[in-house]
Amino acid sequence: MSDSARLYAYKALFEAKRLVTRADMMEVAEVSLATFKRDIAKLRDQMGMPILFDHDRGGYYLDRNNQSTEMPGLWFSPEELVALLTIQRLIEQLEPGLVGLKLRPIQKKLSELLRAKGLGEEEIARRVRMTFAGKRHIELKSFEQIALATISRKRIRMNHLNRQRSERIERVISPQTLVHYRDNWYVDAWCHLRNELRSFSLDVIDDVGILDEQAKDVDEAELRRVTRASYGIFAGQPTDWAVLRFSKHRAQWVEGEQWHPQQMAAREPDGSYLLKIPYSDDRELLGDILRFGSDVQVLEPKELRSKVQRTLLEAAAKYI
């Protein structure tokens, strides 16, 4: 029987009886005397259970005057504890301060359990690191308000910067989903100003206010259809398919990547890699194509091919 299974077995005994004998506990847990003693010590010292021994009656009981009579709902193995604290560390690095304060009480308990098992939380802090490229700063307050409204299904009034037109617009949105994409945060939402689904980058949102009105719920299938049908973060139904040919050398890496759930791909006889993906807005796609330089060629559509060619020629002209 595993450690956690034995602890739950003891818990069931204490719930069923006011006094539990050593024989009862050893029988139900199928353990030796030495293991039984270790389990009792663990329940008292690590789990904080107020277990007392009555010499006159020859059994164990819970101190009902102690508020900690309820046994914790979960016990973890050393591996599980390390995994939990690693996840917490990743979240902290993903967005420093975002949830650290909320998780601190749990983290304190996990740290105590780790130390009891001879494992150090400090080592996790030293050995787990996340790096970001192009990460944009988000005001913590704005994120928390948008996250709260998303989960509690409330509408948001916000001030939104349109980068293309360099103008700020006040909008009311019904947030649907928070999205972490390429080291940045977005919210998929129903825009009540435009009466359509849109994705908004959180770093250009300020003056956020949560309204009393319930958020408009968009059918999940419709949300997926609009927000995930095309390449990248831009929502909307695909207007075209990009056909890209990667060189034999670059194919070794690209064929392991998923650019889009509906992509079509195949190795060519010469070792090159052919990738076909749907898109509705070519801005992000254009940037991704250009980063591969001479290792990629746009075959279709003609408009995208011309844009890539023009951009490369303009860039080359700066180095003449």
What are the tens digits of pLDDT across the range 194-243?
999 999 999 899 899 999 999 999 999 999 888 888 998 887 889 999 99
| Residue 172, C-beta contacts closer than 8 angstroms, at least 6 positions apart | 155, 156, 157, 158, 192, 193, 211
pLDDT value of position 50: 81
Q: Give the pLDDT of residue 55.
A: 87
Model pTM score:
0.66
34 in helix, strand or coil? helix
pLDDT of residue 44: 80
- What class does CATH assign to 140-227? mainly beta
**What is the predicted pLDDT for the residue at 290?**
96
The CATH number given to 3-62 is 1.10.10
The answer to whether residues 124 and 114 touch, using CB atoms and an 8 Å cutoff, is: no
Cα–chain center distance at 34: 43
Which has the closest alpha carbon to 28: 42, 43, 10, 15? 10
Instruction: Determine contact, residues 275/244, Cβ cutoff 8 Å.
Output: yes
- Please give the Cα distance from 201 to 142 (Å, whole number): 12
As averages over each run of 10 residues, the pLDDT of the chain (320 residues) reads 74 81 87 87 77 87 64 57 69 60 65 67 70 74 88 95 87 94 90 94 92 95 89 86 96 93 95 96 94 96 96 94
Domain 240-317 listed as CATH 3.40.50: no
Mean pLDDT of the chain: 84
Q: Where are the domains of the chain?
A: 3-62, 78-127, 140-227, 240-317
